[in-house]
């Protein structure tokens, strides 16, 4: 049983979002000098291997069941409820494989997720952020499948620096990528860079998008130049062009993941969410800056990008005023399934409906909007952050 001091610390931390502003930390971006590529890492496969776009057919979606009180404190049950709601919705369209940390957590997950979600206890997990911790699956166009990992380090150890969560609390997530790959019975390799799946977008046709704030950052890739990081990501993803976008350093635990603001619909087509009235100015300005770069960009095939836009909500009627600036009010943090796109609704009737219509038109498939306020608010991540697709071979 935790003593009262520990419980109070957890309760205080539970009120801090995963994307909480960090002015009090004084965190600043550091300029990185060029340095040698780390040795001892298996080299990337030939360019014939590629990570396909998320809109292609999936074999299944991987998720992870949160069960750590050390990480979540008194918010744990609310986050679990949102994870279960999302998993049950995804399972209507494709298989869901949920990793749980041991038999007790697995039993709880089965009860809350129901029989349509497959829960396994053989892959230990620390937390629910499978997009950031899990492997990236690749195909070779000839029936081959393999995977690689991005060496998750708890968002540059920001989880410890921002929230005081012990670094050891994420030990299982630091090695989950290779265990998922082993379960899927595919070859696995580690990249020579550190980052997260939510920090890079890929079209499956040769082009990547990423924010410099995540990757060219001393908390993940000290001593590496942007060119070195880019070369490794392109090789791993089987791509030939990177579009670097401005990001935001030190304002959230992810250092400005791209998947809340700019996403691929498919090759040559991206969507950007321009911030609504509830987002702080730093995010509003960053979204506009991303948009301005993308409208003047071409992809690996020489196509000028078609840039679609939606607007974030202007009101969050279910969220207290004091928490609204910390809320991930992103329709963009969707997860794509075989027959539908699943995203959030925030109670802004007009903006919710407009986003749903625009996303449905862009993908040409139905859009489901769920109330996931605890995940997007208290968790600071969304449907994309907690899912990882495994493509068909």
Catalytic residues: 385
DSSP codes joined into one string, 288-349 = HHHHHHHTT-B-TTSPBPEEEEEE--S--TTS-GGGGGGS---SS--EE-SS-EEEE--S-H
Helix then strand count (H, E) for the chain reads 12, 16
Whole-number Å distance between alpha carbons of 352 and 369: 8
What sign does the dihedral 178-86-391-115 (CA atoms) show? positive
Contact 119, 87 (CB under 8 A): no
Whole-number Å distance between alpha carbons of 51 and 62: 16
Contact 246, 201 (CB under 8 A): no
Quote the tokens at residue 178: 């290779």
**DSSP-derived 3-state class of residue 234:** helix
What sign does the dihedral 329-330-331-333 (CA atoms) show? negative
**Cα–Cα–Cα angle for 135, 127, 373, rounded to 5 degrees:** 110
């Amino acid at each position: 049983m935790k003593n009262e001091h520990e419980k109070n610390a957890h309760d205080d931390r539970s009120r801090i979002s995963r994307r909480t502003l960090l002015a009090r930390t004084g965190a600043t971006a550091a300029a990185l000098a060029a340095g040698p590529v780390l040795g001892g890492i298996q080299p990337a496969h030939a360019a014939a291997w590629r990570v396909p776009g998320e809109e292609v057919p999936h074999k299944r979606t991987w998720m992870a069941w949160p069960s750590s009180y050390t990480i979540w404190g008194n918010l744990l049950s609310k986050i679990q409820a949102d994870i279960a709601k999302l998993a049950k919705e995804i399972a209507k369209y494709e298989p869901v494989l949920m990793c749980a940390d041991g038999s007790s957590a697995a039993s709880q997950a089965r009860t809350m997720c129901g029989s349509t979600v497959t829960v396994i206890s053989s892959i230990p997990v620390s937390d629910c952020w499978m997009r950031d911790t899990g492997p990236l699956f690749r195909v070779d166009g000839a029936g081959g499948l393999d995977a690689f990992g991005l060496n998750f380090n708890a968002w540059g150890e920001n989880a410890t620096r921002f929230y005081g969560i012990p670094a050891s609390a994420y030990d299982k997530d630091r090695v989950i990528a290779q265990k998922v790959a082993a379960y899927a019975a595919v070859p696995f390799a580690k990249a020579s860079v550190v980052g997260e799946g939510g920090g890079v977008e890929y079209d499956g046709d040769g082009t990547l998008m990423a924010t410099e704030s995540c990757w060219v950052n001393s908390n993940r890739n000290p001593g590496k130049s942007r060119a070195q990081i880019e070369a490794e990501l392109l090789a791993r993803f089987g791509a030939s062009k990177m579009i670097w976008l401005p990001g935001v350093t030190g304002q959230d635990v992810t250092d400005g993941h791209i998947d809340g603001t700019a996403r691929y619909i498919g090759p040559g087509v991206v969507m950007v969410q321009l911030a609504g009235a509830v987002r702080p100015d730093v995010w509003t300005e960053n979204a506009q800056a991303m948009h301005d770069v993308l409208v003047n960009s071409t992809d690996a095939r020489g196509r000028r990008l078609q840039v679609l836009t939606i607007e974030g909500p202007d009101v969050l009627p279910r969220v207290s005023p004091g928490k609204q600036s910390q809320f991930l009010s992103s329709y963009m943090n969707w997860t794509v399934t075989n027959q539908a796109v699943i995203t959030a609704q925030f109670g802004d009737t007009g903006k919710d409906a407009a986003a749903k219509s625009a996303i449905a038109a862009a993908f040409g498939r139905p859009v489901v909007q769920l109330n996931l306020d605890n995940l997007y608010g208290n968790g600071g991540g969304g449907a994309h952050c907690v899912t990882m697709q495994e493509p068909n071979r």
